[in-house]
Amino acid sequence: MATDEPSETREERRPPYLSSIIADALRDSTERRLLKLIRQEPVPRHLGLIMDGNRRYARGHGLLVEEGHLRGKDKLEELLNWCLEVGVRILTVYALSTENLDRDPEEVSQLMDLFAEAFTDIAKDPRVHRHRIHVAAIGNRAVLRPDVVAAIELAERATQDYSEYRYNVAIAYGGREEIVHAIRRLAEQVAAGTLRPDQIDDRKVSENLYTANLPDPDLVLRTSGEERISNFLLWQVAYSELYFSDVMWPGLTKTEFLRAIRAFQLRHRNFGK
């Protein structure tokens, strides 16, 4: 018997829980495929991470800005596990720029609360001690709250003898400020007579940066769809590969992370040669 009502599609007849199961299965299958490919080739030794989009994520999901930052903190916990799984040895995350300190005082205070809690948790995190992860903060600690500085020092002391992995948090950090800081240190050495001006080269500059004992990042991943470095490791990323993801930081999935790693593996790096 004919009817004017449109027939149901297969998707419409499918129970919601079944669609969720299928989506999860497809995601898991994609992750397994990517992991298999990734494990066949070298991964980035040093990953730089610009975690952008907490506030926009919160607005898009009807959440308070504070909740967006909290979810961003939880996402970083996940990403640390992903890095361990694929074998990334050094992770440097851009947690708070010097410019971020000019935001609304209440938001800055909430961020400081999160940092104090996060570094305190890191100091006793079983995963950190099991994998012997060396934790360090880079940036201008003089502008941080005393309790945040105390938490940073607690985490650094608790992991100072580790060297299997490195986890660096750029907090109250600015790339230009870091370079100025290095120039000042070099100028002091010249004034003291321990360094001649003609001895200053790129190696000497690198030795006086916050990241003096680290190799430069192989890959920099930025979320939120913005395609810029935003004053992050300006000297160090001269030859880094860049990957820009459209997702907001708290919404980053393991699949998207693995795609970034795989994209790095498929690029040819010639370091300007």
The catalytic position among 24, 54, 74, 100 is 100
Residue 160 tokens read as 């100072």
Q: Is 100 a catalytic residue?
A: yes
How far apart (Å, rounded) are the C-alpha atoms in residues 6 and 237?
A: 56
52 has catalytic annotation: yes
The one catalytic residue in 24, 52, 202, 231 is 52
Q: What is the DSSP string of the chain?
A: ---SSPPPPHHHHS-HHHHHHHHHHHHHHHHHHHHHHHTTSPPPSEEEEE---HHHHHHHTT--HHHHHHHHHHHHHHHHHHHHHHT--EEEEEEEETGGGGS-HHHHHHHHHHHHHHHHHHHH-HHHHHTTEEEEEES-GGGS-HHHHHHHHHHHHHHTT--SEEEEEEEEE-HHHHHHHHHHHHHHHHHHTSS-GGG--HHHHHHTSTTTTSPPPSEEEE-SS--S--SSSTTTTTT-EEEE-SS-GGG--HHHHHHHHHHHHTSPP-TT-
Q: Which residues are catalytic?
A: 52, 100
